[in-house]
Structure 1
Amino acid sequence: MDHGLPSPPDPTRGRAPVRLVRRAAPGGLLPGEVEALCERLYRVRGGTEADLSLAGLHPFTDLAGIDAAAERLADLIQRGGSILVVGDYDADGATGSALAVLGLRALGAARVGYLIPSRFAFGYGLSPAVVEVAARERPDLILTVDNGMASHAGVARANALGIAVLITDHHLPGPAMPEAVAVVNPNRSDCPFPSKHLAGVGVVFYVLAATRARLRGSNWFGAARPEPNLAEWLDLVALGTVADVVTLDRNNRILVEQGLRRIRAGRGRPGLRALFAVAGRDAARITARDLAFAVAPRLNAAGRLTDMSLGVECLLTEDPAQALAMARELDRLNGERRLIEGEMKDQAEDLLATLSLDGTEPPPALCLFAPGWHQGITGLLAARLRERYHRPAIAFGEASDGSLRGSARSIEGLHIRDLIAAVDRAHPGLIERFGGHAMAAGLSLPRAGFESFREAFVDVVRHELGETAPVRELLSDGELPGAGLTLATAERLRFAGPWGKGFPEPLFDGPFEVLARRVVGEKHLRLRVRAPGGSPIDAIGFQLADRIADIGPEAHLAYRLDVNDYQGQRTPQLVVEHLPSPPGAE
């Protein structure tokens, strides 16, 4: 097996080192002080619980290129032109594509279709081959969703065929933009839009808002054609934004919070409601975490294993029965995905464990390839490697044409797309194509170039990091008194978000008496603990079963305070994220 990876430590030796850091001096919590706690949590995250109404959104007028985009779309809608949406094959692309189709139809577009290219047949983006497929539909305009910034050849081919291209994307642009009729991307160098963290689905939402304003100005709407309320589809915006793990700045928090409120109120899309049902989640009580860990993986399973069109159709349908049937198929695919991922992860760990070591530290970057690895799962494998070793990681699978397609994941402080771009500048022609953003990227290269790429990538990362090995930092919000570990506190924190990247869910740490311990599900650690001055409370440490021998009569835990809903009984529960030494003892 060609692993292409310098020898890391034996995985049985444990995870990468973690440093627990408290954001500020611990804040007390007495009964009735939960609101004060929330205010402190918001403050240390650089925000407030300020009004998260839609009125607080940045205006679409700040987006570069949006006037040209709205003008072209409004003109096509009024003329009865044909629009083909070409989206990416992940959850952001699927939600954005569904939103574009639903929104354009509601605005009065007579002919709107969509195309989600297969990752296996075409790879990422609007390639010339994808344009040839799209041309069979005879569209007047191709509207890209969550892709297009690197599609120079594809846009050129569309132009040669007389098909206009309008790009909506959020990935970082290269030195030049494709020759499209309009490019809407908050990360354009000339774009003054304050929020640079819009997901692809968020960009589509803004384009629809601008198009609606343009049509309103031409008196397009009336009694026979009512003006649509775009907030109707904020559930899709919330899902795509959370699934793409973009930073939840205030603008994104508004979009996510408003979408969550619609879902909880029973106004979500039938497909979303069905996905919650098959995941065993109560839609009336969902949070951003439920979108991330219950819905997004099931939606993504279609794009990883087969065709994301199934996911888009699930989001588009108005028929609850059809939605449930498609959600069940997505659930089945997600189960298959978990099996494949588990096999690949075990294979990788077995491989890493058998390699000889030159030293005690793994290399600064992990770059891995094995024949037979599933292209659709390499991103998940790279994420697992990143999480375990706290290193940027790239996992490659072999495409049908013999080339390698890699998925990259990075750690905070290392911009993965920029790192790959640095390799590309130093070794022109080695990488066939690449794209992405700070934390995730994709690339392809010839099979024969793998070793050269691995060495170059490791060197670039080593240059960025220096000789100091990166250590994962866990930021704690301090210690909660035992009297505060209640269901009321857990419920308030649960809905005090939305929490996510850039606005993380509260994490606390403190000492506990350990009353009982056992392994559940072979991999998880179940504890019964009691904080000073508190009552006994259950704790669960996912994937921490190997640490049971480290648990004595007392333990210092870093944890989230959550709600355990089991057979209709709701109780507070600690979700253990780490078993650290007390602050200052590490």
Structure 2
Amino acid sequence: MSAIGPRIRRRDPVQPIDGWGEDVLPLLRRVYTARGISDPTHAKPSASQLLPPDALGGIEAATSLLVEAIAARKRILVVGDFDADGATACAVAVRGLRMLGASDVVHAVPNRIVHGYGLSEALVAELVPLAPSLLVTVDHGIACHAGVTAAKRHGWQVLVTDHHLPGEALPPADAIVNPNLPGDAFPSKTLAGVGVVFYVLLALRRRLREAGVPGSVDADLASLLDLVAVGTVADLVPLDANNRALVAAGLRRLRAGRGCPGLNALIDVSGRNAATLTAGDIGFAVAPRINAAGRLEDMALGIECLLADDATRARELAEILHGINAERRGVQQLMLEDAEAALATRALDGAHAAPVAVCLHDADWHPGIVGLVASKVKEQLHRPVVAFAPSEPGSAQLRGSARSIPGLHIRDALAAVDVAHPGLITKFGGHAMAAGLTLQADRYDAFAIAFRDAVASLVAPDLLQAELLSDGELSAEEFTRRHADALRDGGPWGQGFPEPLFDGVFEVLDTRIVGERHLKLSLRCEGVRDALNAIDFGGGSGEAPCGHVRLAYRLAADDWRGARAIQLIVEHREPARGGQGASGSRQAFAPAQAEQRPQWRNATHDLVSGETQPEGEQDQ
């Protein structure tokens, strides 16, 4: 089963605007303008440009609940979620409420296997001994009707803070803060769960200051921005100007060594350099180690690491998370091999072309890893994918994770299935690019057909062709360390604000395999005196390229063994067509068929840790 390789399409040329400072290189000006930046001050928004919390619906009711609980010294229970966004949101809520004077704050998190997603009735039953007066959900709750109802039956007040899309009815909470509620006037709809609770804390601090509450003036909520940055990047929400301001501020703290002990330890065990940390490092290295706890063990470990104030204890916990993540990688690889075999069987049966949508299921798969399997298959086939595993060994209930392609809102596709086939899906929820669902095992075949039909009715055929958007060619003068550093520091880059990608034709001087499966290339570029180093992660299988190749690549700094060099990170390669040339020649090239490698290859695979960026951690 195969899909046509991605095509490279250059962004339409845009005339750069005026007003840039001389310290902003022309290359970076071009990149910013191509991403819709019409005002230089919006290129790298600062924390001072953050939107005020006033427009968030429910913010007055939410802060009233919290003000009352703090004043009366009531117990506040923060309930997190088992992904990195939920874990950082829990840590932000606990730390922030204590800063603002809450004297009795405890926290809890569901276990993926035992409780399932969110505030369930089963979880509420286990929380009874904690006897909270106010329960605060972070990164979930908007779909937890039964759990909120159960909490209310115990006499607890409930504040829901969430960012997931709501259903037709809202849970019976005392207050709900969610920028995606119908009619909510908050301009940024892309806040992660950690961003929502951070905004609640901002509004709470202002209200306490206005009331003259002692200590509220000194509460430094900016110290929480390291956690906000990690959760926002990990959840793959679009980085609009507001989210970029949040992430940039958090990165500055982490680079300066002012992150919380847990994050500092996680950066260290992942082999990253805090001083040059990027959003990509968070996505590739830090977030997977937090997520691993929720996937294979208990996210309570991850939250404890993020809440640790003692550096030694934080390091111990980070080492445990690092070990769990290594185990996760092993389980993931076995499941990917199963998926590859299943897809190969379909190809042998005659289904050589990838279908419009793919469903996968194996009774031995781990429910905490199916989202990663769905992401990998989606990357290979460029098709929406849902991967299922039993909720627990031997269970008749399946838990699925869905991943989508640009242009198809995956939650809408699940909603279409639910409307056309009432009762087929037990429950579902999520976002445009990632969602989660549960259904009974005996309904899997029916769901696979219904999902394929729903996708076919929603997706335009041209969206099934993978596409790489290029920022064009680099001139010979732009293959420098100065330009590589400027691109690295010009972010944060991420969803909705993609990292710069360039393309061009190069002469291959030499190739060799490194790390068993990665391809190292030495390239010649017209006008560049020295040979250029390039690395194609996962590209070591098949025949080595020779002659001229067309590459889509990122320009990156290379500090290996203390060298201040550059290298090209190859995202895609294909035979050069339309004549031989070199990058900088300004030739136009016809699209070429990509090499079809046997692979589970993410183009942004990391050589040091073997990590790939997690995708869509919003499993329900």
Deviation, 1:125, is 1.3
For normalisation by structure 2, the TM-score amounts to: 0.89
Aligned to 1:557, the other structure's residue is in SS state strand
* Structure 2 residue 211 is matched with structure 1 residue 206: no
**Displacement of 1:483:** 2.7
Between 1:46-55 and 1:528-537, the stretch displaced more is 46-55
TM-aligned CA deviation for residue 316 of structure 1: 0.5
Counterpart amino acid of residue 397 in structure 2: S
Partner residue, 2:177: 184
- Whether 2:452 is the aligned partner of 1:461: answer no
Other-structure match for 1:249: 240
- 1:469: Cα distance to partner? 6.6
1:367 matched residue in structure 2? 359
Which residue in the other structure is 1:12 paired with?
none
Q: Deviation per CA, 1:179-217, whole angstroms, max 9, x where unpaired?
A: 111110110111011100000000010000111111112
Residue 267 (1) aligns with residue 251 (2): no
**2:504 matches 1:510:** yes
Q: Does the 8 Å contact 1:26/1:479 carry over to 2?
A: no
CA contact (8 A) 1:199 1:246 kept: yes
Deviations 1:413-459 (A, max 9, x none): 11111111111111111111111011111100001100000110011
Aligned ranges 1:92-171 → 2 under 5 Å: 92-171=85-164
Quote how far apart the aligned CAs of 1:86 are: 0.8
1:351-406: per-residue Cα shift (whole Å, max 9, x none)? 21133344542111110001110111000000000000000111111123420000
| Structure 2 SS opposite 1:113 | strand
Cα 1:112/1:517, change in 2 over 3 Å: same
Q: Which amino acid aligns with 1:441?
A: A
Q: Equivalences for 1:398-413 in 2 at 5 Å? A: 398-400=390-392, 401-413=395-407
Q: SS at the partner of 1:261?
A: helix
Going from structure 1 to structure 2, the CA distance change for 1:469 and 1:182 (only over 3 Å counts) comes to closer
The aligned residue for residue 484 of structure 1 is 478
Secondary structure at the residue paired with 2:564? strand
Q: Are the equivalent residues in 2 in contact too, given 1:518–1:548 (CA < 8 A)?
A: no
Q: Runs of 5+ in structure 1 lacking a partner?
A: 1-7, 10-14
- Give the match for residue 616 of structure 2: none
Q: Give the partner amino acid of 1:239.
A: V
Distance 1:102 1:25 in 2: 46
1:87 to 64, 80, 85: 80
Superposition map of 1:132-531 within 5 A: 132-222=125-215, 227-355=218-346, 356-400=348-392, 401-465=395-459, 470-531=464-525
What CA distance in whole angstroms lies between the structure 2 residues aligned with 1:349 and 1:64? Answer: 46
Q: Matched residues in 2 for 1:338 and 1:421: separation?
A: 32
Aligned equivalents of 2:4, 2:517: Cα separation in 1? 18
| Deviation of 1:467 (Å) | 5.1
Q: Secondary structure at the match of 2:191?
A: coil
Distance 1:397 1:440 in 2: 16
**1:567 match: secondary structure:** helix
Amino acid at match of 2:27: L
2:363 aligned partner, one-letter code = P
Against the structure 1 CA distance between its residues 98 and 16, is the aligned structure 2 distance closer, same or farther, given a 3 Å change threshold? farther
Aligned residue number for residue 538 of structure 2: 543
Q: How does 1:36-75 map to 2 (within 5 A)?
A: 36-47=26-37, 48-50=39-41, 52-75=45-68
Partner of 1:3: none
2:24, 2:53 → 1: CA distance? 36
What do residues 276-297 of structure 1 show as CA deviations (whole Å, max 9, x unaligned)?
A: 1101111111011111101001
Count of residue pairs the alignment pairs up: 568
Superposed displacement of residue 547, structure 1:
5.1
User: Using the alignment, how far apart are the partners of 2:542 and 2:476 within structure 1?
Assistant: 24
Question: Aligned partners of 2:120 and 2:479: how far apart in 1?
Answer: 54
Structure-2 residue corresponding to 1:22 = 10
Unaligned runs of 5+ in 2: 17-21, 578-587, 592-620
Q: For 1:469 and 1:66, how far apart are their aligned partners in 2?
A: 39
Match of 1:585 in 2: 590
Report the equivalent of 1:552.
Answer: 546
Over 3 Å counting, the alpha-carbon distance change for 1:358 and 1:572 in structure 2 is same
Identical pairs, percent: 51
State the shift of 1:176 in Å: 1.5
How far, CA to CA, are the matches of 2:541 and 2:87 in structure 1?
Answer: 38
Point out the more displaced range, 236-245 or 419-428.
419-428
One-letter code of the match for 1:284?
A: A
For the 8 Å contact 1:517–1:548, the answer to whether it is kept is no
Aligned letter for 2:532? I
Superposed structure 1 runs of 4+ greater than 6 Å apart:
none
Q: Which segment drifts farther, 449-458 or 397-406?
A: 397-406
Contact 1:26 1:478 in 2 (8 A): no
Please identify, of 273-282 and 517-526, the stretch whose mean Cα deviation from structure 2 is larger.
Answer: 517-526
Q: Distance in 2 between matches of 1:233 and 1:190?
A: 29
**CA distance in 2 between partners of 1:482 and 1:250 (Å):** 32
* 1:519, distance to aligned residue in structure 2 (A): 2.1
Going from structure 1 to structure 2, the CA distance change for 1:232 and 1:88 (only over 3 Å counts) comes to: same
Check the 8 A contact 1:84/1:134 in 2, yes or no: no
Task: Indicate the SS of the match to 2:490.
Answer: coil
Instruction: State the alpha-carbon separation in 2 of the partners of residues 56 and 34 from structure 1.
Output: 20
Quick one: distance in 1 between partners of 2:558 and 2:543?
Answer: 22
Q: For the Cα contact (< 8 Å) 2:262–2:307, is it kept in 1?
A: yes
8 Å contact kept, 1:481–1:531: no
Q: Secondary structure at the match of 2:556?
A: strand
What one-letter code is carried by the residue in structure 2 that aligns with 1:439? M
Letter paired with 1:333: I
Q: SS at 1:139's partner residue?
A: coil
Q: Counterparts of 1:469 and 1:198 in 2: how far apart (Å)?
A: 26
- Alpha-carbon separation, structure 1, partners of 2:463 and 2:222: 46
For each residue in 1:139-194, what CA deviation from the matched residue of structure 2 results, as whole angstroms up to 9, or x when unmatched? 01110000011111111111111111100000000111111111101101110111
Change over 3 Å in CA distance of 1:542–1:404 after alignment to 2: same
Contact 1:481–1:532 (8 Å) recurs in 2: no
Q: Write the deviation string for residues 244-288 of structure 1: whole angstroms up to 9, x where unpaired.
A: 000000000000000000111111011111011101111111011
Per-residue deviation, 1:315 = 0.7
Compared with structure 1, are the counterparts of its residues 21 and 547 closer, same or farther at alpha carbon in structure 2 (3 Å cutoff)?
farther
Q: Is the 8 A contact 1:525 1:548 kept in 2?
A: no
State the Cα distance separating 1:89 from its structure 2 match: 0.3
| 1:466 Cα deviation after fit | 5.0
